[in-house]
């Protein structure tokens, strides 16, 4: 089987004409100001710390992490803010927080090296162009590829050797990238096979995504779908859905394989169909009476992923529809009931996110990835729509 990886990721071509909601530009500018204030406060009050979520609005430094997957997001926020503002102090802090996690480029205990190094070292390389920075990103990709289960043809989750998470679709891109930079066809094979396995066994016919798949270790046979963070095994966990939208779109950018684009679109269509005018999904759409109506981090990720999809979809009408829906999600997240006030006594940027409802971790709080992907999505849109202030370039292959 051939495993083609493009020499350069497909560009993002914004759909036209797309009109942002009234007040969107001003709300986005306010969000950047809030983000700068909150991130500066975090690194001043808790230097060299990497909190995952807040407790009663304050960053929790001792809370259960479940797994260590979020250290790249703070550096990523700093890189995005540095690009947005041109502030050299923020850039120096971005470099510093990126260096702090460099030893994890050889971490074989997690499936999250894309989260760790794409948001940090890859952004640094895009900004600086130093080949030595790229070496770190490629090594992280090679390390992640070592998690590949040959019989089941998937990258195993941190939880167990028989476990495949939908989250890994947001990490497999760093293996595609390493394959592209090195010409290593085995890396391309691993990334491709993982995406095909995930597409076959975790994405359902209606476009919903299962959180986890379990495989027989002796034969590689797929056994069942299950979940760690959704309502129940046949549920539709919203953050996993968002990972699928964004992750399969990114896989398409690296390969040009339209099966991945079609999967991203199916997952986006499910999000849009089930969420509709509410725009912000609950933790799991299948839960009949959720205690909390919103999971804002899922919405922030979905908005970024749907905007990316809009920029990749060749059907003009669909591209515009996706683009406008993504902007509407973002605009809703920028409202005062979701976006923390710049001087409010709340440490995070985006309220009403949840980490792990079943374990009671970071529920209805700010979560680091929600803050990061809000800025990631705003930066992608701003690169297309323009702004009175300096904007982050669309990072390849974002």
- The pLDDT profile of the chain, 398 residues, written as one tens digit per residue, is 889 999 999 999 999 999 999 999 999 999 999 999 999 999 999 999 999 999 999 999 988 888 999 999 999 999 999 999 999 999 999 999 999 999 999 999 999 999 999 999 999 999 999 999 999 999 999 999 999 999 999 999 999 999 999 999 999 999 999 999 999 999 999 999 999 999 999 999 999 999 999 999 999 999 999 999 999 999 999 999 999 999 999 999 999 999 999 999 999 999 999 999 999 999 999 999 998 999 999 999 999 999 999 999 999 999 999 999 999 999 999 999 999 999 999 999 999 999 999 999 999 999 999 999 999 999 999 998 875 443 333 334 43
Instruction: Tell me whether residue 4 is in a domain.
Output: no
Instruction: Tell me whether residue 14 is in a domain.
Output: no
pLDDT of residue 63: 85
Helix, strand, coil percentages for the chain (3-state, nearest 5): 55, 10, 40
- DSSP, residue by residue, 321-361: HHHHHHHHHHHHHTSTTTBPPTTSS--SSB-SEEEETTTTE
Give the distance, in angstroms, between the CA of residue 304 and the centroid of all CA atoms in the same chain: 8
Burial class (CB in 10 A: 0-12, 13-18, 19+), 288: exposed
What is the rounded distance in angstroms from the CA atom of residue 136 to the CA atom of residue 125?
A: 10
What is the rounded distance in angstroms from the CA atom of residue 114 to the CA atom of residue 121?
A: 10
Instruction: Tell me whether residue 224 is in a domain.
Output: yes
pLDDT of residue 192: 98
- DSSP, residue by residue, 291-306: SSS--HHHHHHHHHHH
Using the structure block, give the residue that is written with the tokens 């979020």.
Answer: 70
Q: Looking at the 3D structure of the chain, how many domains does it have?
A: 1
- Count the residues in the chain: 398
CA–CA distance from 370 to each of 131, 160, 242, 375 (Å)? 30, 26, 12, 9
Q: What is the value of pTM for the model shown?
A: 0.96
Query: Are the C-beta atoms of residues 172 and 155 closer than 8 Å to each other?
Result: yes
pLDDT of residue 385: 81
Instruction: Tell me whether residue 90 is in a domain.
Output: yes
Look up residue 147 and give its two tokens: 């998690």
Instruction: Tell me whether residue 161 is in a domain.
Output: yes
Using the structure block, give the residue that is written with the tokens 């989250």.
Answer: 167
pLDDT of residue 306: 98
Instruction: Tell me whether residue 105 is in a domain.
Output: yes
For residue 351, the domain's CATH number is 1.50.10.10
Phi, psi of 184 (to 5 degrees): -80, 105
The residue segments making up the domain with residue 378 are 24-385
Instruction: Tell me whether residue 1 is in a domain.
Output: no
Look up residue 207 and give its two tokens: 């476009």
What is the rounded distance in angstroms from the CA atom of residue 190 to the CA atom of residue 186?
A: 6
What is the rounded distance in angstroms from the CA atom of residue 147 to the CA atom of residue 145?
A: 5
Instruction: Tell me whether residue 3 is in a domain.
Output: no
């Amino acid at each position: 089987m051939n495993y083609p990886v493009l020499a350069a990721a497909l560009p993002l071509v914004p759909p036209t004409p797309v009109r942002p909601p009234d007040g969107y530009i001003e709300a986005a500018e306010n969000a950047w100001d809030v983000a700068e204030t909150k991130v500066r406060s975090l690194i001043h009050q808790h230097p060299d710390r990497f909190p995952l979520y807040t407790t009663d609005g304050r960053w929790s430094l001792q809370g259960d992490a479940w797994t260590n997957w979020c250290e790249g997001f703070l550096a990523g926020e700093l890189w995005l803010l540095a690009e947005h503002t041109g502030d050299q102090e923020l850039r120096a802090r971005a470099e510093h927080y990126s260096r702090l996690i460099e030893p994890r480029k050889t971490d074989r205990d997690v499936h999250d090296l894309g989260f760790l190094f794409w948001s940090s070292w890859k952004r640094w390389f895009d900004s600086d162009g130093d080949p030595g920075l790229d070496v770190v990103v490629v090594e992280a990709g090679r390390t992640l590829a070592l998690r590949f289960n040959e019989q089941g043809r998937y990258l195993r989750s941190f939880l167990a050797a028989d476990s495949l998470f939908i989250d890994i679709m947001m990490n497999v891109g760093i293996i595609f990238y390493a394959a592209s930079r090195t010409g290593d066809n085995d890396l391309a094979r691993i990334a491709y096979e993982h995406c095909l396995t995930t597409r076959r066994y975790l994405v359902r016919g209606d476009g919903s995504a299962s959180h986890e798949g379990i495989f027989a270790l002796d034969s590689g046979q797929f056994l069942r779908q299950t979940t760690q963070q959704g309502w129940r095994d046949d549920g539709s966990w919203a953050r996993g859905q968002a990972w699928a939208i964004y992750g399969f779109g990114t896989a398409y950018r690296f390969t040009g394989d339209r099966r991945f684009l079609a999967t991203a679109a199916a997952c986006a269509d499910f999000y849009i169909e089930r969420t509709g005018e509410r725009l912000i999904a609950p933790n799991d759409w299948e839960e009949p009476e959720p205690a909390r109506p919103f999971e804002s981090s899922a919405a922030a990720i979905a908005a970024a992923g749907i905007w990316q999809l809009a920029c990749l979809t060749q059907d003009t009408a669909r591209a515009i529809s996706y683009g406008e829906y993504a902007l509407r999600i973002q605009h809703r997240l920028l409202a005062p009931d979701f976006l923390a006030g710049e001087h409010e006594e709340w440490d995070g940027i985006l309220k009403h996110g949840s980490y792990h409802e079943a374990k009671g971790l970071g529920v209805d709080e700010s979560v680091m990835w929600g803050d990061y992907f809000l800025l990631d999505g705003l930066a992608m849109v701003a690169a297309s729509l323009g702004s009175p202030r300096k904007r982050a370039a669309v990072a390849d292959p974002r």
